[in-house]
């Protein structure tokens, strides 16, 4: 890899394959080339970013691999930086504020409106970026409300992929991902943290879909107070 990629970001990969477990890219392609492990091993063998353009453009940057990596390699950072070298856009980052979806989900009013027949979809990329501090909150929220969530057995969030650059590159099938995410679940309503997912999920499912911010009646008032 070029000198702009830190050696420590990939050279410590031992090929344990744990990053494949939650990887949506791996699930859709079933080719190790399309996985964080594949990137790391390719770079260890001298591959350049230009050699990995297709898999780089297939990653939805959900961050689940970072949570699973026992070597604590910044896999998402590695993939993002390599993607920039081949001209892929820089993924947008979510900034926390007083009305971020996570803060809203901590509100007692909101929690009282989440029902046991709801399917609550956590914003995967944002959760994984703050996993250690936030996963306990969502586990408690799930137990308190009885709702189902997109947390898997490893306590990482299964992403929808909606809004990712991989979709624009026609490298990721959101419909296939949503079908897998909802398969076997019994719910009457979908609550999402990422507002960009509402419209797409409404098209792909026959259930009502709403953003968590809609559960907070005082949202506009709080926004005005935060701005003043």
Each residue's pLDDT expressed in tens, for the chain with a length of 228 residues:
333 444 356 888 999 999 999 999 999 999 999 999 999 999 899 999 889 988 898 999 999 999 999 998 999 988 988 888 888 877 666 555 667 999 999 999 899 999 999 999 999 999 999 999 999 999 999 999 999 999 999 999 999 999 887 877 678 999 999 999 999 999 999 999 999 999 999 999 999 999 999 998 655 555 555 555
Residue given tokens 């501090």 in the structure block: 133
CB 178 within 8 A of CB 201: yes
What are the sequence ranges of the domains in the chain?
7-85, 101-227
Structure tokens belonging to residue 62:
């959900």
User: Was domain 7-85 assigned CATH 1.10.3720.10?
Assistant: no
CB 52, CB 39: distance < 8 Å:
yes
**CATH code reported for the domain at 101-227:** 3.40.50
- Listed residue (179, 186, 173) closest to 204, CA to CA: 179
Contact 214, 192 (CB under 8 A): no
Whole-angstrom CA distances from 209 to 60, 75, 129, 148 are 22, 32, 25, 14
């Amino acid at each position: 890899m070029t000198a702009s990629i830190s050696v420590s970001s990939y050279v410590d990969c031992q090929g344990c394959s744990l990053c494949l477990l939650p990887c949506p890219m791996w699930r859709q392609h079933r080719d190790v080339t399309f996985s964080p492990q594949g990137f790391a091993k390719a770079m260890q063998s001298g591959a350049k970013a230009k050699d990995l353009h297709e898999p780089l453009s297939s990653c939805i940057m959900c961050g689940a691999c970072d949570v699973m990596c026992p070597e604590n390699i910044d896999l998402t950072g590695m993939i993002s930086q390599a993607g920039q070298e081949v001209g892929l856009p820089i993924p947008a980052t979510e900034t926390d504020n007083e009305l971020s979806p996570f803060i809203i989900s901590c509100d007692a009013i909101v929690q009282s409106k989440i029902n046991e027949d709801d399917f609550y979809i956590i914003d995967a990329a944002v959760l994984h970026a703050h996993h250690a501090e936030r996963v306990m909150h969502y586990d408690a929220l799930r137990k308190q409300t009885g709702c189902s969530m997109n947390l898997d057995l490893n306590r990482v969030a299964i992403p929808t992929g909606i809004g990712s650059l991989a979709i624009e590159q026609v490298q990721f099938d959101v419909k296939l991902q949503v079908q897998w995410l909802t398969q076997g679940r019994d719910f009457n309503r979908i609550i999402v943290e990422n507002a960009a997912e509402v419209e797409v999920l409404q098209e792909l499912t026959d259930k009502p879909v709403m953003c968590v911010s809609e559960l907070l009646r005082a949202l506009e008032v709080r926004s005005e107070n935060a701005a003043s």
